[in-house]
Amino acid sequence: MPPPAPPVIHSAEFAFAAALKGQLPPTTLPEIAFGGRSNVGKSSLLNALLERKNLVRTSKAPGATRQINMFRIKTSAPEAELMVVDLPGYGYAARSKTERIGWGTLIEAYLERRESLEALVLLIDIRRGPEEDDRQLVEFWKGARPDKPILLVATKLDKLALSKRKPAMTTIQKACGVRVIGFSAITGDGREELWRALFLALRST
């Protein structure tokens, strides 16, 4: 069967926010989580992916997303219903130490125990490449969820000259041992490929 084309987004709506120690809603739909360093472009990618300008809050100042935010998505062609999860970014030094540890624990607990979580999409700024905490997250996922896929997305593709994109993506791929998709929330580059990979990930579990 050919891989599905990018779907029609029927509806995309905010469903739930869980703060530190907050309760998550009962699991009803398959979930895909989007994680990465603060300011890497998680919220922007979700808006671009879902073709909604302001569904997910973005910001120039790092640390904009301070909760686990869930969005309920319905698509057709192919028909699917899923939860897309915007995680708070890590590596934001301006937070207090207690706050950083608390958030780390919240995200780890979510990634490790959430039953309906089917895949992790890890975003890495194409200009920065993977840093220590990115590689740690890849290893954490492989250890905690050996049977579930992880996808890497190199963000802000538009900020790098065309000739430098491929080598930068290869560096990320080699460092993490996971396939990389290039993406730009500004131009929409990579949107189709990412959707294809997401549906494959959902199907493979």
In the complex, the residues that contact Mg ion under the rule CB under 5 A are 42-43, 64-65
Both tokens of 187, joined, read 């131009």
Site for ligand GTP in 13-52 (CB under 6 A): 38-44
Site for ligand GTP in 169-188 (CB under 6 A): 184-186
Which of 6, 50, 65, 120: binder of ligand GTP (CB under 6 A)? 65
Q: Does 145 bind ligand GTP (CB under 6 A)?
A: no
The Cα–Cα gap between 102 and 50 comes to: 30
Which of 7, 62, 78, 129: binder of ligand GTP (CB under 6 A)? 62
Nearer to ligand GTP, 6 or 89 (CB): 89
**Farthest-apart Cα atoms in the chain, separation:** 50
The Cα–Cα gap between 141 and 150 comes to: 8
Quickly tell me which residue has 């050996």 as its tokens: 146
Least distance to ligand GTP, CB of residue 77, Å: 25
Least distance to Mg ion, CB of residue 42, Å: 5
Detail the DSSP E strand segments found in 19-157: 31-36, 68-76, 80-86, 117-125, 150-155
Please choose which of ligand GTP, Mg ion, none residue 19 contacts, taking the beta carbon within 5 to 8 angstroms, the exact cut-off set by kind. Answer: none
- Alpha carbon 84 to its chain centroid, in Å, reads 8
Q: Is the Cβ–Cβ distance between 27 and 37 less than 8 Å?
A: no
The Cα–Cα gap between 108 and 187 comes to: 32
Q: Does 58 bind ligand GTP (CB under 6 A)?
A: yes
Q: Does 191 bind ligand GTP (CB under 6 A)?
A: no
Q: Does 63 bind ligand GTP (CB under 6 A)?
A: yes
Nearer to ligand GTP, 38 or 75 (CB): 38
Least distance to ligand GTP, CB of residue 168, Å: 14
Least distance to ligand GTP, CB of residue 86, Å: 7
Upper half-sphere CA count for residue 136 (Cβ side, 13 Å): 9
List alpha helices for 52-186, DSSP H.
97-113, 132-144, 162-176
Considering only CA atoms, which of 107, 127, 125 is closest in space to residue 117? Answer: 107
Nearer to ligand GTP, 80 or 89 (CB): 89
Footprint of ligand GTP (CB under 6 A) = 38-44, 58-60, 62-65, 89, 155-156, 158-159, 184-186
